[in-house]
Structure 1
Amino acid sequence: MCRLALGLAVGVILCAAAPSLAQQGTAEIVGRVTDTQGAVLPGVAIVVTNEETGVYREVVTGPDGSYSTAHIVPGRYRISAQLAGFRGLDRRGISVSVGGTVTLDLTLDVGAVAETVTVTAETPLVDLTSAEVGRHISGAELAELPAANRSYMAFVGSVPGAQFVPTTGFLNDTMLANGQPAAANNVVFDGAGNIDDLRGSNVGGQARTANESIQEVQVLTNQYEAEFGRASGAVINAVTKSGTNQFRGSAFDFFTGRAVTAKDYFARVNDLDKPQVSKQEWGGTVGGPIVRNKLHFFASVERLVQNRNQSKTYPNRPEFSFSTNDDVSAWNTLWRIDHQISANNTWAFRWLRESAPQFNVLDGARDTVQSNDDETDLDQTLVGTLTSVVSNTKVNTVRLSLTKEHTTHANERLRALDPAYATCTVCPRRMIQDQSLLPPILAYLSFNAQADDTMDFSLDDSYALDETFSWFIPDKLGRHDTKFGARFSYAWISNPNNSNGNGTYSFASDRAFNAADASTYPERFSIRVPGALDYELTSRVWELYAQDKWQIKNGLTLSLGVRYDLEIIPIKEESNPLFTDPDKYPVDKNNVAPRLGVVWNPDGKGKSVVRGGYGVFYDRTLLGTVDNFLFDTKFSRSFTAIFPQTAADPGPSSGRLPSEFVLNTPTVSQLTPAVRAYLNALFPAGTVRRNTGTVTWDDPERTQPYFHQLTVGYEREVLPGVSVSADYVRMLGRDQFFNPNLNIGTRVNTTRTGTVTFTDPYGILNPSLAPGEEQYSGVVRLLTTKYGHSNYDALNLSVEKRYSRNWSLRGAYSLGYSRGITAGQTDTPQLQVGTDLKLDQYYAPANVDRRHTAVISGRTEIPKTRGVTLSGALRMLSGTPFTIQDTNVDPDRNGVLFDPLPAGTYSGTSADSLQNVENKGGRNGARGPGFMELDMRLGYRAKLGSRRSLDVFGEVFNVTNHANFTNPSGDRRNTADFLRLSTLVATTGFPRQAQLGLRLGF
């Protein structure tokens, strides 16, 4: 199979041609040269020169007068054109964006070559060559618009169809698009992947790139061409800055503190102490020539030290309410070299590195200060590129890239055990085992106390080799910009894990444990046994594509493409009776994805475009989805055992002592010697034991998820520099992961404590048992793509005013609806009864569905003030859905405590509870609160000579101090938390905060 894939790749490369323009982080200028009568001019010498670096490209127009310069670095260019008998033409100030194609037709006047006409003109605002739906975010917007976390992801969310997702993790902000989960995006920097192979884009890119290092970002939400794939959300395609012929750079400092930060909602309403909030962010960039017009460098450094507010209240146990701050910091560095060896050869190298320790992090709805966790990260990406001009119409690019992650997730109690653990990122291996020395977690009904269960290492090394070749073919029934490419990537991950190695006691209420009160005893206990988890997993991925932008005539372009993806993830299918050979893991070999786009300029003036397209887009299989096959096996070295196994012990909730041995304990502050001896006898350390927890089976027919995507849209430049657009998007997700329980049980009654019996409803499990083996007594999950499907429809509207006359504006609105039976790759049919998956009942709005999203941003230099600047951004999002249910009962007796309540109006009883919530019934039948935030910046720019400037500005984030909440609990069993707004977005909620900033540009 590898030889076949390699042969296909070589064949594609040798057969012909294409620039992977967007994927390479490059751009293109195309056009036609005519005389004043409109006759085409072949043989015109064209020189395209980067005005900042002096790097140039020489081409000659073809028989139809057309020319193309592929694989050029985004930036500002000048074009000179010369032909005997005509005056020379020198056109300047042509801005080329990443992934973009600028169409620039030139007209030569009759005259002497020595006579040159110099023209400065704006780049066309409307792209007449592409059916892609998306937008560009400029480096100026990243630098001049306010954003509390200074994350480029905040600006990506200003594109129609996209949503900014601030996360609880430090520097882990991400986004989602097309009603798909945050993990479904593809993040590309400088043409190389920057993604987490285990979790996807859940935490944004693998290695964060500082805003000051980014030249611009292209966001493609729909109908991206064949060079892009393995994503059902958006493609985030960005380039970093490079050096120029002048020494340029910046120095910046941002700082804020407790005095200029408002109390968050819970601290204010409950009169909690104001936390010691602070932030200082400083750094700089510098770039310039090593050899003018040939060799340039760029480097950046950013230091961030921050203490973010965190607060939470627990009405039943106010002693656990808190208002505190975390302790997080980061060092981010980048350096880059660009070198034009000759007129036809250039190379570049870039290394990005970030170290980010994060302590005292409270990132869950159930966390208290006793159950905080932490994370220490070291992320790196390295990219090397060689671009060669083969001929007048052919360009070749080779790229080698590496992404590395080393992350430790731990907790405060564990780090206190050994000085070597205190702040380590690359930590001693014994730290994994020592999680078992901690006291158990106390999981009360509303919160966790005493300890935390987090302990794992996340290791990810990913290598990729890209080979692309472009061939511009003029005058063949029109003009063809053809593209072919191949990419091979290899990933290795390891996730040593001892989460819950200290065990968890679960309680029926929030009442404190009292050895003299049976009703306060734990009703269930879980713990990882016999030992810590340790595994390695690899993947090999081949990507091949061919693309042709066929300009049939001026104003009409067809985009024809096809793509092939092949994922090979070797897995030993042990103890899985669905496989006759455990070495025959599934490989989906027919992932052929056609793409068709149509672009029509109806006015013939380049001011408007009608665009549309259809394509098939394959998603990636996250390694964090399939790694369960390595350890959730019938016999395992590491799994979670639960006592009692099928249901909570009925004793405590009825006022009786529990009958389960491990629960009937005089103390919960530690596991007693008797409990430890009992566990050690059942699961001796270092042994392989029958897995009494969840077993996960692979499906021999598992395939790669994919989407049908249809778009149609219109864009027009209504005023000079102002465009409006409207695009309709429809997506049909098919072969999605949806993972039934092959051992679904039947509860003896409808109470949550009723025992569950398992009867092998599919008739697969019992026949697979060896003589004397006990029947399966827990969940047997089948990871399959046979049942999952989803649909998404959206109308995306935008208006954009390009920066000119000292102001710019961007507005985006999306009316969308995402629904289906699955959203992520680990979803299970919680309404399943026997072999009936209840797919019709499970079909509902997606967890991330927001009907309305709107973002407005703009910046200006106020006239007649000699440098006073004003900018702002307003984000407004409607609420996401959640389920109203009652986990105290199990009406369908399927052993799963998930049964939506009927349609109606529901209200909470506690303070801060939602009232009169309309519930349509079923899964995700109710809607949570929306989101609104207004950020503003007022500054002054002082000119310090011709090349230097000093910006002094004040920013206010969340100007209105609007409290933004996550969805409340919809579980009626917990009356104190039912429909109560108990958690702020991203834990902090972003209370109003002022910040002072200084930036020196030179």
Structure 2
Amino acid sequence: MKTHKFTQLQKSAVAALVALALGQSSAYADLSVGSIFGQTQQGTVVSVKNLDTGLKRELKADASGRFNFSQLPSGRYQVSAGGVNREVQVSVGTGTPVNFSAEAIERLSVVGSSINPIDTSSVESSTVFSAAQLERLPVGRDISDVAMLAPGTVRGDSSFGKLASFGGASVAENGYYINGFDVTNARTFLSYGRVPFDGIGEQQVKTGGFGAEYGRALGGVINIVTKRGSNDWKFNVSSVWTPSALTAHGKNVVSRVQAEPGSREYYSAYRSDDESDELSYTLSGGGPLIEDKLFIFTLLEGKKDSSDVYTVDRSSRSENDSPNALAKIDWYLTDNHILELTGIYNVEKTDYQIFMNPDDKYYTGQHGSLRTAYTERNGGDILIGKYTGHLAENFTLGLMYGALNSDAAYTTPDPLPGNECPLVDVYDQSTDDVIDVGCWNEINIRTLNFGPDTDEREALRLDAEWVLAEHTLRFGVDSETFTSSRAGTSYSGGVFFRRYTPLDSPDRWNGVDVAPGAHVVRKRTRETPSGSYEVKNSAIYLEDSMQVSDNLLLYAGLRNESFDNLNSDGVSFVDAENMLAPRLGFSWDVNGDSSAKVFANAGRYFIPIAANTNIRASNWQAVTTEYYLYDGTVDARTQAPNQLGAKLGDTLVSGRNTSPDPATVASANLEPMLQDELIIGYQRELADNWTGGVRFIARKVKNGVDDYCGRQAFIDFAEDQGYSDFDPDTLASCIILNPGRDLEMDMDVAGDGVLQRVTVPNSYLQLDKYKRTYQALEFFWERAQQDNWFLQGSYVLAKSKGNSEGLVNSWLEDATPGLTNDFDHKVFVDGTDGDLSNDRRHTFKLYGGYQLTSEVELNANLMVQSGRPVSCFGYPPFSVDEDEYAVFERYAPSTLYCRNADGQQELTQRGQFGRTPWTFMLDAGVSYRPEAVKDLVVQLNVFNLLNTQRVTEYDEKGDLSLEDEGQNPDFLNDVNYQTPRSVRLTIRYSF
């Protein structure tokens, strides 16, 4: 399997470098280090020396002449054997082959050239980007942007940020690591602990086939190694500026509702006046505190970012000038014992000001009077400690401890002014437009004096490697505890009023007919409690890389996973133990000279249940909804009705106001979500400086996990079993299960307060099995740096289909992992089998660079991609006299039942309405390195050079409202476009 690396080796030397690569099994895929392996004469003493830190190690080649130096910090090394020296680059998570039987390797002095030998020692699919490569290429300053360069990745829905989807998985199924520490946010899996971008030494992107030491991810893994100090004191100052003046304007979306220009209904999206300005400046330095022994690297990053966003009747301005920092200490106690300490500070404090439009006009593109101001705080700090000990020539031990603390969108003051005002808005029934009115500022008021919502992670990991003849055994254990706290909430003022504009025709509300011109208001209350919730994950693993012959490597691994989710009382409601995840693979050097390779990998991967599930499922939420007539008069300040009139229909109650028994929250026979993966590939040298290959990837999700929120199935089951006193209000609001399987659970089915273990057949729930498959052909190629240019690219033909995208739902922008609407009731499953949201049938990527002169370099990055499927979403098709109506009436359009031209709900199919257009994105850059000023770089990058702003998302909401028989006039209208052109200016100076 191909491992991409960016090194400084000339391509002509690569064949010599890897000629006898298969002589040693070195499928070393550690989280933060690499290895050097190869072959020489039997019994020869081989030594390695890090040219930056002086680290030295030596050992004797075995009876077959093989040698392997594992757990080496990445960097430049000199390898010596029998009086011959070689200079190589070690990259994170990869093995670097060295052959002392071949001709001497030339040294090439082109920094950052991309040389990717055919690594016959690994069965993983990964790409490694060095800091030098990231500085050269026109790529966003975010690790997800970098991941988009790798084959098999596509951009996820914009509602989830800039996250990447790997191999058909949702964006919430990836793993993120910094210096060996898992920094994935286990609350939602949609964020991660961040390191200042200029502090990245290397970024490894694993797209599949990773070894048994990795788990808890179904998509991909992004693995970061930070920069570190060396024996030379080096400093760097830089400034990166993306000015708003050089950024193209975004496109507005004109609504199909017939309205006059300038009226509030005219635009369904308004962006043309939005502006953003980003400025960062970095000072970094590193060197020896004690030569060859103790090293330090520090970085301080400052920011001055601002953004102005204008909407229909108000606007906002945000400013962020939060400093971030990184410190890394490496202490070589001896050449065989290393201590590392990493500290990261990544707090982001953003100041917001909310304005009303001047003169009460719409779409002004100007700030008017200040309505409110607040500060939002995110992020925190990360601490990582690691010990590496080479206890013998054939035995290495690593021990890592990590701690992460992070605030989650904490606003101050808490609460904001206006918290006594009820939440009020006005729903225009003719346009489907919602207008915020009144004196409130926050939708949800948090429990007073609770403090910020926080996420904390503590992890301990031990890894060992033991080389026994042809076998390289690796084994280890890791354990982590993730704690999420959340404040309880209620609506501002304790109540939410939604006023509906009158219609000229008769209307119907909550099962009651109302006359033309009637004023209707919905009154809703909602309350949730505060709490702290834990997720405990642990694993042990064992793997063996066996060199069965000179050109055949076999790999076998086994990972044993355990997940434990606890409620706020510390009681488990999901406890899965001893889940076995086997991994198998091989690498065959076809010609025995590393010029061609056949490889394969098969594995099983589990993913835990997010902490957000603890918060949502094991907690309680009480919601009551009532509809009233009123006379149309409102309070001048709050805009709430002065007096409620006749009540329309019954009070609708959903949820509960007490925590459910942990035994009732999840299926007793719940199986954790897993994915099986198969990769088969071929890679070879095509010509001088050119390599290429093809991979086939197949993935299939099994035992998908989601929640079910219906009630009628349990009512029918109890009735059929002869239980006449069953009360559905004793159920948890939603139950976590494996869709499509019989549900084994505890219920008070007899209505006597005693829980009984029962099995509810799936024939009552009527849920289809959770389905997601991904198949792809990846073609990849590379032209190594030679004659002043390099090129790398891929084409992927892929198909992702099923009835669920995964832990999150891009359709509905539903960011509640494992608790989406997908299986809340059978009506949400109907029609969903088809092409999934991340199904991009064709993706073409190409990036490279050309050294125009000794001072000027040109670089470019191109991605061409086909569109995503388009569907129609309507309200759940329940009438007011059905028991399910009280549960699902507050749902947004989220089923495939859409109203037709006659106003009747009919079932549509996933992807029935075509696809979004193909997109074309070209980024370009030019770098100037004046010979007169050594180590100065001036760089200009232009993103979306041609300013192509094609549609990336359509309005898929088909229904106008819950009980209105009209269709949404903006159905299939544009919603989002490609990001407009922007320009980034960079100045760097090293000394």
TM range (shorter): 0.7 to 0.9
1:191 counterpart (158, 180, 183): 180
SS in 1 for 2:346: strand
- CA 1:623–1:273 in 2, change beyond 3 Å: closer, same or farther? closer
The superposition leaves residues 493-536 of structure 1 with CA deviations (integer Å, 9 ceiling, x where unpaired) of: 10114264444444566999xxx99758455333323xx53111
Question: Separation in 1 of the partners of 2:351 and 2:720?
Answer: 45
2:169 counterpart (177, 180, 187): 180
In the alignment, is the contact (CA less than 8 A) between 2:523 and 2:625 conserved in 1? yes
Deviation at 1:805, TM superposition (A): 3.9
User: Which shows bigger deviation, 484-493 or 873-882?
Assistant: 873-882
Deviation at 1:537, TM superposition (A): 0.9
2:976 counterpart (970, 984, 996): 984
Question: Separation in 2 of the partners of 1:397 and 1:288?
Answer: 24
TM-score normalised to structure 1 length:
0.77
In the alignment, is the contact (CA less than 8 A) between 1:587 and 1:703 conserved in 2? no
User: Which shows bigger deviation, 352-361 or 117-126?
Assistant: 117-126
| Residue in structure 2 matched with residue 449 of structure 1 by the alignment | 436
Give the alignment of 1:478-877 within 5 angstroms.
479-498=470-489, 500-502=491-493, 503-506=495-498, 521-529=519-527, 533-571=529-567, 585-632=573-620, 639-644=621-626, 649=627, 658-659=628-629, 669-671=638-640, 689=657, 697-744=665-712, 760-763=715-718, 776=729, 780-787=733-740, 788-822=770-804, 823-824=806-807, 825-826=817-818, 841-862=831-852, 865-877=853-865
Deviation at 1:967, TM superposition (A): 2.2
Uncovered stretches (5+) of structure 1, i.e. residues with no partner: 1-17, 35-40, 83-87, 110-116, 313-318, 416-420, 422-429, 574-581, 633-638, 650-657, 746-758, 907-918
Amino acid at match of 2:983: A
The superposition leaves residues 905-957 of structure 1 with CA deviations (integer Å, 9 ceiling, x where unpaired) of: x9xxxxxxxxxxxx994134332344432221123112457xx4111122222
Deviation at 1:850, TM superposition (A): 2.0
1:464 aligns with 2:459: yes
Question: Separation in 1 of the partners of 2:169 and 2:795?
Answer: 17
Which is richer in strand? 2
SS in 2 for 1:155: helix
2:424 counterpart (440, 445, 450): 440
| Residue in structure 1 matched with residue 872 of structure 2 by the alignment | 884
1:127 counterpart (108, 119, 123): 119
- CA 1:455–1:380 in 2, change beyond 3 Å: closer, same or farther? farther
The superposition leaves residues 55-95 of structure 1 with CA deviations (integer Å, 9 ceiling, x where unpaired) of: 1222111222111111001112110113xxxxx11111x11
SS in 2 for 1:277: strand
Question: Separation in 1 of the partners of 2:538 and 2:565?
Answer: 12
| Residue in structure 1 matched with residue 909 of structure 2 by the alignment | 922
SS in 1 for 2:70: strand
In the alignment, is the contact (CA less than 8 A) between 2:876 and 2:897 conserved in 1? no
Question: Separation in 2 of the partners of 1:56 and 1:764?
Answer: 76
Question: Separation in 2 of the partners of 1:959 and 1:382?
Answer: 40
Amino acid at match of 1:715: Q
TM-score normalised to structure 2 length:
0.78
Deviation at 1:22, TM superposition (A): 3.3
SS in 2 for 1:184: coil
User: Which shows bigger deviation, 216-225 or 432-441?
Assistant: 432-441
| Residue in structure 1 matched with residue 964 of structure 2 by the alignment | none
In the alignment, is the contact (CA less than 8 A) between 2:127 and 2:206 conserved in 1? yes
1:969 aligns with 2:955: yes
Question: Separation in 2 of the partners of 1:52 and 1:324?
Answer: 49
SS in 1 for 2:458: strand
In the alignment, is the contact (CA less than 8 A) between 1:20 and 1:485 conserved in 2? no
In the alignment, is the contact (CA less than 8 A) between 2:874 and 2:898 conserved in 1? no
User: Which shows bigger deviation, 881-890 or 956-965?
Assistant: 881-890
SS in 2 for 1:967: strand
- CA 1:505–1:301 in 2, change beyond 3 Å: closer, same or farther? same
**RMSD across aligned positions (CA):** 4.1
- CA 1:809–1:994 in 2, change beyond 3 Å: closer, same or farther? same
SS in 2 for 1:104: strand
- CA 1:736–1:374 in 2, change beyond 3 Å: closer, same or farther? farther
- CA 1:764–1:668 in 2, change beyond 3 Å: closer, same or farther? farther
The superposition leaves residues 251-288 of structure 1 with CA deviations (integer Å, 9 ceiling, x where unpaired) of: 11122434322221129998987345322111122111
In the alignment, is the contact (CA less than 8 A) between 1:525 and 1:663 conserved in 2? no
1:231 aligns with 2:217: yes
Amino acid at match of 2:424: P
Uncovered stretches (5+) of structure 2, i.e. residues with no partner: 1-24, 109-113, 255-260, 262-266, 355-362, 447-451, 505-513, 741-769, 808-816, 961-966
SS in 1 for 2:976: coil
1:304 aligns with 2:303: yes
SS in 1 for 2:135: helix
Question: Separation in 2 of the partners of 1:837 and 1:73?
Answer: 54
In the alignment, is the contact (CA less than 8 A) between 2:707 and 2:824 conserved in 1? no
1:107 aligns with 2:95: no
In the alignment, is the contact (CA less than 8 A) between 2:115 and 2:784 conserved in 1? no
User: Which shows bigger deviation, 325-334 or 933-942?
Assistant: 325-334
SS in 2 for 1:847: coil
| Residue in structure 2 matched with residue 431 of structure 1 by the alignment | 415
Deviation at 1:558, TM superposition (A): 0.7
Question: Separation in 1 of the partners of 2:416 and 2:30?
Answer: 39
User: Which shows bigger deviation, 889-898 or 279-288?
Assistant: 889-898
In the alignment, is the contact (CA less than 8 A) between 2:344 and 2:383 conserved in 1? yes
SS in 1 for 2:455: strand
Question: Separation in 2 of the partners of 1:717 and 1:295?
Answer: 42
Deviation at 1:33, TM superposition (A): 0.9
Amino acid at match of 1:471: W
Deviation at 1:604, TM superposition (A): 1.4
In the alignment, is the contact (CA less than 8 A) between 1:890 and 1:899 conserved in 2? no
Identity %: 19
- CA 1:257–1:828 in 2, change beyond 3 Å: closer, same or farther? closer
- CA 1:488–1:885 in 2, change beyond 3 Å: closer, same or farther? closer
In the alignment, is the contact (CA less than 8 A) between 1:963 and 1:984 conserved in 2? no
1:32 aligns with 2:19: no
Question: Separation in 2 of the partners of 1:54 and 1:707?
Answer: 44
- CA 1:899–1:495 in 2, change beyond 3 Å: closer, same or farther? closer
- CA 1:496–1:20 in 2, change beyond 3 Å: closer, same or farther? farther
SS in 1 for 2:771: strand
SS in 2 for 1:591: strand
In the alignment, is the contact (CA less than 8 A) between 2:803 and 2:829 conserved in 1? yes
Question: Separation in 1 of the partners of 2:289 and 2:278?
Answer: 36
1:242 aligns with 2:228: yes
1:90 counterpart (85, 96, 116): 85
Amino acid at match of 1:762: F
1:68 aligns with 2:60: no
Deviation at 1:778, TM superposition (A): 10
In the alignment, is the contact (CA less than 8 A) between 2:50 and 2:76 conserved in 1? yes
